[in-house]
Amino acid sequence: DAGVTQSPTHLIKTRGQQVTLRCSPKSGHDTVSWYQQALGQGPQFIFQYYEEEERQRGNFPDRFSGHQFPNYSSELNVNALLLGDSALYLCASSLKGQGPYEQYFGPGTRLTVT
Amino acid sequence: RKEVEQDPGPFNVPEGATVAFNCTYSNSASQSFFWYRQDCRKEPKLLMSVYSSGNEDGRFTAQLNRASQYISLLIRDSKLSDSATYLCVVDNYGQNFVFGPGTRLSVLP
């Protein structure tokens, strides 16, 4: 049973550039959520995708956007990168309609902005 | 006030000790509750869901008090492998997870 996978594992970008991170959910899951985790802090919710639409969004600017594909995989795009965007980006998958909505996390993409 | 707060830690305990983590949440509409553990530079892993009646999984016991908006996690007979950061999570019908800042545990030989 394949778990959540993410790519790439590490990424180094320069301020002002754009980045795309990818996520494949756990087999059988249909919902993907993205989180940003800065060093020493708990993950912060960015947004959630279900049925190829953004369903919920956390307190993140429009520079953060996403997409979900028909096979449930998802992308996170960040434009105009800032130094403060350096963090671990985590993708989590779950199955909508099956409380208590346990989420399973991928290994994350560590983004460094210089 | 933060939506989810946890003991600041770190907790340093000897092997075999019992340790308790506390968590409070501010949104009374929260419906689901979880404890995750996160090892250094790794992803969070689900430790256990927390049910209203309380639940136990081996050495781990979770309690929920909705009236006080309080969640706890008790670890008995601590092992070296329990060393990690423990994250308290609340959720509203799968809309989004709100994580606490985490409490770091070090179990010492």
Please give the single-letter amino acid code of residue A71: N
Residue A50 confidence (pLDDT): 92
Do residue A45 and residue B98 have CB atoms under 8 angstroms apart?
yes
Residue B58 confidence (pLDDT): 96
Q: How many angstroms separate the CA atoms of A8 and A39, rounded? A: 19
User: Could you say which DSSP state residue B16 is in?
Assistant: T
CA distance A81 to chain B (A): 22
Residues of B near A (CB-CB distance < 8 A)?
4, 31-34, 41-46, 49, 87, 91, 93-102
pLDDT tens per residue, range B61-74: 999 999 999 999 99
Do residue B101 and residue A55 have CB atoms under 8 angstroms apart?
no
Residue B54 confidence (pLDDT): 87
DSSP string, B28-63: TT--EEEEEEE-TTS-EEEEEEE-TT-EEETTEEEE
Residue B94 confidence (pLDDT): 67
**Burial of B79 (C-beta count, 10 Å sphere; 0-12/13-18/19+):** exposed
| CA distances for B33 relative to A82, B27, B67, angstroms | 33, 12, 14
CA distance B93 to chain A (A): 7
Residue A101 confidence (pLDDT): 76
> Which chain A residues are within 8 Å of B100, Cβ to Cβ?
42
User: Minimal CA–CA distance to B97: which of A23, A103, A6, A89?
Assistant: A103
Residue A99 confidence (pLDDT): 60
**Residue B82: phi, psi to the nearest 5?**
-80, -10
Q: Would you call the peptide bond into B10 cis, given omega within 30 degrees of 0 as the criterion?
A: yes
pLDDT tens per residue, range B81-94: 999 999 999 987 66
Residue A98 confidence (pLDDT): 60
The mean pLDDT value of chain B amounts to: 93
pLDDT tens per residue, range B7-55: 988 999 999 999 999 999 998 888 889 999 999 989 999 999 998 888 9
User: Minimal CA–CA distance to B95: which of A63, A31, A13?
Assistant: A31
Do residue A102 and residue B42 have CB atoms under 8 angstroms apart?
no
Residue B9 confidence (pLDDT): 87
For chain A, 114 residues long, give each residue's pLDDT as a single digit of tens.
Answer: 679 999 999 999 999 999 999 999 999 999 999 999 999 899 999 999 999 999 989 999 999 999 999 999 999 999 999 999 999 999 999 987 666 578 999 999 999 999
CB atoms within 10 A of CB B104: 17
> Which chain B residues are within 8 Å of A94, Cβ to Cβ?
94
Q: How many angstroms separate the CA atoms of A12 and B33, rounded? A: 35
